[in-house]
């Protein structure tokens, strides 16, 4: 009679792929990091309170705080160049409550009326 392998104890893999169990357990964590990258569209608003703070009101009406590097802001002529513009941003979600995104790129979307 063939010996059955207990797949539950071996990480649910039907064969030995040469991956250690410790590495198997870390894989879902790396997937979560991958899932933290977001692309959002909406209207960007600058709130002036000493220094500019950035908020995106997305297409669903949710407010998301944006953390934008000075160099990225400068490439648009400063905060005024982004204020009340329709944008698509790409970045990394750094907090869920409240939602905060560290922005890596911004694209101004032109509106065709």
pLDDT of 35: 59
Domain count, the chain: 1
Helix, strand or coil, per DSSP, at residue 75? coil
- pLDDT over 90 at 5, yes or no: no
pLDDT of 59: 87
d(CA 4, CA 36): 39
Domain region containing 48: 37-108
pLDDT of 7: 42
The mean of the pLDDT values for the chain is 79
Neighbours of 13 (CB within 10 A): 12
Q: Kindly state the tokens that stand for 86.
A: 């329709």
- pLDDT over 50 at 9, yes or no: no
Total-model pTM: 0.67
Burial (0-12, 13-18, 19+ Cβ within 10 Å), 59: exposed
Q: Is residue 54 part of a domain?
A: yes
Among the listed residues 65, 75, 77, the one whose alpha carbon sits nearest the alpha carbon of residue 105: 75
Neighbouring-strand partners of residue 39: 90
Q: Is residue 22 part of a domain?
A: no
Q: Is residue 21 part of a domain?
A: no
């Amino acid at each position: 009679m063939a010996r059955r392998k207990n797949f539950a104890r071996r990480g649910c893999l039907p064969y030995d792929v040469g991956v250690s169990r410790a590495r198997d357990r870390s894989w879902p964590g790396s997937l979560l990091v991958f899932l933290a990258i977001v692309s959002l569209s909406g209207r960007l608003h600058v709130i002036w309170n000493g220094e500019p703070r950035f908020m995106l009101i997305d297409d669903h009406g949710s407010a998301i705080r944006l953390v934008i590097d000075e160099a990225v802001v400068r490439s648009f002529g400063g905060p005024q160049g982004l204020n009340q513009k329709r944008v698509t941003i790409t970045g990394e979600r750094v907090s869920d409550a409240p939602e905060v995104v560290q922005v890596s790129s911004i694209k101004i979307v032109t509106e065709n009326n």
